[in-house]
Structure 1
């Protein structure tokens, strides 16, 4: 009996599957469009949802996560900001003095100048991190080879991440090999690879090489592990009440902040300390990503709904025939349920294949470390399965439950005619509104990005050699000018530009209050303005100024606004009249230069003093700024490196690409611009898919009407306009709905920038033009194809 029952069920399933496949083939245009748009939408949604979960779940498997805090203190150079720093002896002092501190972990990074394996130089920036032996009591790193405990006790040994081991040694054995590293803090040192670490998902720390802390460690970021039940706020009050030494005793205080305080940067924390060995993600990027995922999914669901309704209207003809031929309600429900369920499951499988292909590009776009393994991990896979089950079971259950009881005429009454037109109009309008909103956001972000790029143009093809602390570089400058071709300008200076000397100033306001600001100081020869393309607004040429004055200085517009009384001309006046703490009593303000940014555009340009020094004043200068000719950049760099190697044997050649450094400081706006551009294009593509399917269905439903119009003399242009008119109306309504919301959101985003790109009229017109253009192109193509059909033949077929 059971055998017959099972065979009957198998036969029903086979017949149902055949009917589903036959339906897919018969309506292949609708099926392909709905599956493609749903797969693309699910891929984007899965990718962004997984990114959100991954970043929010850093150290999610660490049982001590909630007890680990960053020891931070007030930044003496940026009022209201905090810096993750403690002197070398402070953590041990805290552990000895307070029972709430169970353990501590001090971290340090060595700026790597070069890395060699078997005498061959390895290209790429590698992070060499040093840590205390307590690292394993904070984080559960597992080794594929060797012992991490041994590495943390031996400063001459190193542990490699799995990715670094592959990069340095390919498929060869890494354990026991030697790596020659030269860094600024440790000099030249050879490390033995004593451990290779397994990949650790959602790790707080990011590094390529890990070694032990040395005895000359002077301070850096510190993590504390608190005792169970310890109150971080009360402990902070105790530490500050006991006046534990800070960077500026009596003026700055300590803070015990959770991991999120350092890992997630906020809009009001523009100058938060950047630690490239700590996973740090802008909060706005996380939530904009999540919002984009929802919007893309909405567009995909609108497409799927439109296509499903259109396809089911045709499919119900066959179902009605099945009813007349004796088909049971159970078999019809199973067919409807299976059709919708398998469509979503197929789209989900295709979406995961798309994710696999796009993951590397996505990681490069946002600087994330997602892997396909995380998608199938216990932290993510259950959510993805629940998501796809809801997406597949709920619509399938509704369709099978609702439509299986309807006759064909009842379905035409409920889902056809004007009711279906209104429903389609709502879905299309929603798609248009989302596309218009994404386009406006993209154009706004790209305009801000172009403003950033214009500010960065002054640093294009500029490199910087030295940091101001090394040996004098005047001889190197002379040799470079003599031997290297392809150089536009060379400047000898006392320090770097993008990391210029900073001094804090107290500015008195007219109302008697005081405001703290920073003062940047640059010291260089007379070619400094030309090399950095500074625009001089007043004063003589730099070379002329040195002939006229002993200590000429130039100030920027911000200096004049903040430090010079209104209506006062600073040119020709002593610098000390405006800056009482100026070191040089002979310094005279000889001119004003236009403001230019050295940091993110989120920060206002600070007051700047440029000291022009003679050759005698630059004898100990240890920094060079060089502007290369773009057409011979590569050759010039090679020649400069050759000169360096001759004059500084044994010291690796290192330079800073000033343009890349400046753009890196504005990475947030660049990442957001690229992200929004990517998803605006995806949104337009999905909207195009939906319009194609809707237009395909609409034109074929109106063949008889259009044929009659043609018989009565309607032209091809009139027919195309007839089909386009409703979509133009939908786009206009969507524009009115979307524009105020998108404009308000982007205004809020722009508030974080001290310098904002102006929003022109075109930025509000282009989204509507693009959406109109896409819809017109697709609908016109369908109308043109339909207008070529002979009226008599079309009416015969109908």
Structure 2
């Protein structure tokens, strides 16, 4: 390649500005999509691989649960020589911090760990050291900047509410932010023994039913992650058996049936879907990632075939030029080299729109899917290797496929300005067009189905009415004790229909197992803990019996069950179940999201001064006034509490955040797919019209109207859109049928979704073809007859 060849390539690109611009833009969109999701794929598979010697680092699991007792790790280290080191990790949320101006801020990523966690994770300190006493706290860079600005935070203090009162902790160090591809993401880290101050805090919502085992050092309290670092050549499977042997030696009956296994840290992110206690670490979805990558590759294929079609359209306008070159002595290799150079140049220039797509797309993917793709992924050699291979293959394969057909064509044919193409080759181009629109139809069907199912989940609640219900958190003992006063004041408001307290207000996402035990038997149910009046406030329907009356401490054996429990155990109001008296039976209701089936349920009555939530049913007319009044009452009762009031419907919306985000992402893909499909259609139209220019001129000379020419060209193209609909419908139906299987209660796959997707594709194709056909049909027929 010499400078003259490069200049000629640039000149040819400039000569055909429209086709070249569309080629560069289309290829850039396709490359940008595959780059975004390629980077996402690399990022998702890079989690925790930054840990020094991560191949010997493992998280210990008790069968399917990573939560283990506090004393277990040091006991294993002292008795099993294959374990070189360990650290423990525990995290809590909603920790209140009081600022210097007496504002209360809740932080969710508050952790406790052994001091060697940082060195084992490869996390350095900007200054200071880890917390080694219960009076110290280490902060991330972000939190140090948030609370102390640009000044050195070492030795400064923070007021944190770990139990029921604020406690002063001294900042002992500021560590570097954990990487975006870390499964652990603590923003505050106290010494592991400081966890005693908050252990069991999350159980406060259970009130009278709170666990009595709050000692964090108790072997029966399983709350800590245990990370093990093994000696060289240690076998994780053998070590799992040794750990079980050690535990059995402590208590044969308790541990004889348990299984312990070591999970490689590099597997935690994508291979923790079946774990029951993966609460403190990020988790990905390997199947979802494959789905996105398949879409990205389909869009890239559309972009590449579009580029080939558009380049062929340009080449058809340059056949005489290439024939003249061959007549003047240019070899086939020279022609091939020139086309290949132009192809790679277009591929290189497409990096500009691709970069724009990446710059806009990565924040969109991060915010939509909750990902953490950051600049660190561009420091990986795999990222640049994928980019280089994509560019080379796109430019080279496209150039070879186009240039080989032209370079092998005889000089006489090229000088005539028209290639003799077999009908089968044009059919191949049209079949790719069908593929383009089939991808678009599948994506559009997915978007409509996602939205239809999400709307179904938000509006189809069984035997419960979540509208106009405000939920106020009672997050201090003062608020819990004064709940009656809060209710009395709010009930005076004419816009308040009813108030009631509770520990859990359905629908909520997690499950609360309730075991009804007697000396001989234990039966597990899905559970709720509610206060007096909550069942009626939620609009549940009674089948038999009555609601709870005034709470009496000596009458905690009264329960309410749902219809499923009554049918399964053949019970009625007044019957006994494992020593518990059934006070009433309610119709089955949606206690959780529609991902799960309604289970046999038991409702327990909560102590009126130990409820963590207050529900306020309004008439929906003056909710802002009611919220303001509630905030005022809360601050009067407990000035240091953090006011948290939300709608129950907002709580329900959070159930379907994942599906809503998937719908947003696929909508974005659908938009790009149709843009690329239109570009591909444009290219095929150019090729077809250039092939039939003389035919169109003859038809017009013989009296054909422009509308007849447009109809003829549209008919040839629109049939391929119908083919796309036929191909896409079974694929889209099968894919959406599989997706809907994730829900216990689901909407139907409506026929109109497929019809609407087909009509959208048809309309877009009609507009694209008609515009280009109209330009050709309205040209002077003399120009067309000069074509050959």
Same fold (TM over 0.5): yes
Q: Answer yes or no: is the 8 Å Cα contact 1:110–1:186 preserved in 2.
A: no
Out of 723, 748, 762, the position equivalent to 1:758 is 748
Please say if 1:559 is aligned against 2:569: no
CA deviation after TM superposition for structure 1 residue 768, in Å:
1.9
CA deviation after TM superposition for structure 1 residue 388, in Å:
1.8
SS of residue in 1 equivalent to 2:481: coil
Residue 171 (structure 2) aligns with: 192
Out of 572, 587, 594, the position equivalent to 2:588 is 594
Please say if 1:297 is aligned against 2:300: yes
Please say if 1:207 is aligned against 2:202: no
Q: Answer yes or no: is the 8 Å Cα contact 1:70–1:256 preserved in 2.
A: yes
Residue 705 (structure 1) aligns with: 695
Structure 2 CA distance for partners of 1:482 and 1:214, relative to 1, 3 Å: same
Task: Please list the CA deviations of residues 208-263 of structure 1 after superposition, one character each: whole Å capped at 9, or x if unmatched.
Answer: 22332225542422222232222322332333344256997566544433336642
SS of residue in 2 equivalent to 1:96: helix
For residues 671 and 690 of structure 2, what CA distance do their matches in structure 1 show?
28
Q: Answer yes or no: is the 8 Å Cα contact 1:113–1:654 preserved in 2.
A: no
CA deviation after TM superposition for structure 1 residue 297, in Å:
1.0
Q: Answer yes or no: is the 8 Å Cα contact 1:159–1:194 preserved in 2.
A: yes
Alignment of 1:50-449 (within 5 A): 50-74=39-63, 82-119=64-101, 121=103, 125-143=107-125, 145-147=126-128, 150-168=129-147, 177-183=156-162, 187-192=166-171, 194-198=173-177, 200-217=179-196, 218=216, 219-241=223-245, 242-243=247-248, 252-259=258-265, 262-264=268-270, 269=274, 272-275=276-279, 277-325=280-328, 332-397=335-400, 399-400=402-403, 403-407=406-410, 416=421, 418-449=423-454
Task: Please list the CA deviations of residues 459-482 of structure 1 after superposition, one character each: whole Å capped at 9, or x if unmatched.
Answer: 775324237987324234235515
For residues 565 and 498 of structure 2, what CA distance do their matches in structure 1 show?
27
Larger mean CA deviation between 707-716 and 106-115 belongs to 707-716
Task: Please list the CA deviations of residues 419-457 of structure 1 after superposition, one character each: whole Å capped at 9, or x if unmatched.
Answer: 442221121122122222222333333333222322578
For residues 788 and 515 of structure 1, what CA distance do their matches in structure 2 show?
84
Unpaired segments ≥5 residues, structure 1: 1-8, 75-81, 507-513, 565-569
For residues 66 and 581 of structure 1, what CA distance do their matches in structure 2 show?
53
TM normalised by structure 1 equals 0.83
Residue 615 (structure 2) aligns with: 625
Residue 687 (structure 1) aligns with: 677
Larger mean CA deviation between 626-635 and 297-306 belongs to 626-635
Task: Please list the CA deviations of residues 398-422 of structure 1 after superposition, one character each: whole Å capped at 9, or x if unmatched.
Answer: 5456633534655688673524422
Task: Please list the CA deviations of residues 113-142 of structure 1 after superposition, one character each: whole Å capped at 9, or x if unmatched.
Answer: 433443264767541222111203421012
CA deviation after TM superposition for structure 1 residue 596, in Å:
0.3
For residues 381 and 186 of structure 1, what CA distance do their matches in structure 2 show?
52
Structure 2 CA distance for partners of 1:558 and 1:72, relative to 1, 3 Å: farther
Please say if 1:574 is aligned against 2:579: no
CA deviation after TM superposition for structure 1 residue 92, in Å:
1.2
For residues 184 and 315 of structure 1, what CA distance do their matches in structure 2 show?
79
For residues 682 and 443 of structure 2, what CA distance do their matches in structure 1 show?
20
SS of residue in 2 equivalent to 1:406: coil
For residues 488 and 165 of structure 2, what CA distance do their matches in structure 1 show?
29
Q: Answer yes or no: is the 8 Å Cα contact 2:378–2:384 preserved in 1.
A: yes
Q: Answer yes or no: is the 8 Å Cα contact 2:527–2:602 preserved in 1.
A: yes
Residue 5 (structure 2) aligns with: 16
Structure 2 CA distance for partners of 1:452 and 1:183, relative to 1, 3 Å: farther
CA deviation after TM superposition for structure 1 residue 357, in Å:
2.2
For residues 109 and 625 of structure 2, what CA distance do their matches in structure 1 show?
28
Q: Answer yes or no: is the 8 Å Cα contact 2:157–2:169 preserved in 1.
A: yes
What value does the CA root-mean-square deviation take over the aligned residues?
Answer: 3.7
Residue 6 (structure 1) aligns with: none
For residues 409 and 489 of structure 1, what CA distance do their matches in structure 2 show?
90
Structure 2 CA distance for partners of 1:229 and 1:550, relative to 1, 3 Å: closer
For residues 459 and 99 of structure 1, what CA distance do their matches in structure 2 show?
59
Q: Answer yes or no: is the 8 Å Cα contact 1:73–1:246 preserved in 2.
A: no
Larger mean CA deviation between 311-320 and 473-482 belongs to 473-482
Larger mean CA deviation between 291-300 and 155-164 belongs to 155-164
CA deviation after TM superposition for structure 1 residue 55, in Å:
0.9
Residue 526 (structure 1) aligns with: 533
For residues 751 and 370 of structure 1, what CA distance do their matches in structure 2 show?
30
Structure 2 CA distance for partners of 1:357 and 1:776, relative to 1, 3 Å: same
For residues 460 and 279 of structure 1, what CA distance do their matches in structure 2 show?
34
Task: Please list the CA deviations of residues 533-584 of structure 1 after superposition, one character each: whole Å capped at 9, or x if unmatched.
Answer: 43x16358869999xx9998653343245333xxxxx55x3242xx3253xx
Q: Answer yes or no: is the 8 Å Cα contact 1:602–1:753 preserved in 2.
A: yes
CA deviation after TM superposition for structure 1 residue 722, in Å:
1.5
CA deviation after TM superposition for structure 1 residue 201, in Å:
4.7
Please say if 1:462 is aligned against 2:470: yes
SS of residue in 2 equivalent to 1:668: helix
Task: Please list the CA deviations of residues 659-703 of structure 1 after superposition, one character each: whole Å capped at 9, or x if unmatched.
Answer: 444444444333333332222222122112222333344345544
Out of 14, 24, 36, the position equivalent to 1:25 is 14
Q: Answer yes or no: is the 8 Å Cα contact 1:35–1:347 preserved in 2.
A: yes
For residues 408 and 636 of structure 1, what CA distance do their matches in structure 2 show?
85
For residues 172 and 631 of structure 1, what CA distance do their matches in structure 2 show?
48
For residues 550 and 142 of structure 1, what CA distance do their matches in structure 2 show?
53
SS of residue in 2 equivalent to 1:108: strand
For residues 687 and 148 of structure 2, what CA distance do their matches in structure 1 show?
58
Out of 492, 502, 505, the position equivalent to 2:513 is 502
Please say if 1:781 is aligned against 2:771: yes
Residue 606 (structure 1) aligns with: 599
Residue 78 (structure 1) aligns with: none
For residues 381 and 562 of structure 1, what CA distance do their matches in structure 2 show?
60
CA deviation after TM superposition for structure 1 residue 344, in Å:
0.6
For residues 718 and 14 of structure 2, what CA distance do their matches in structure 1 show?
32
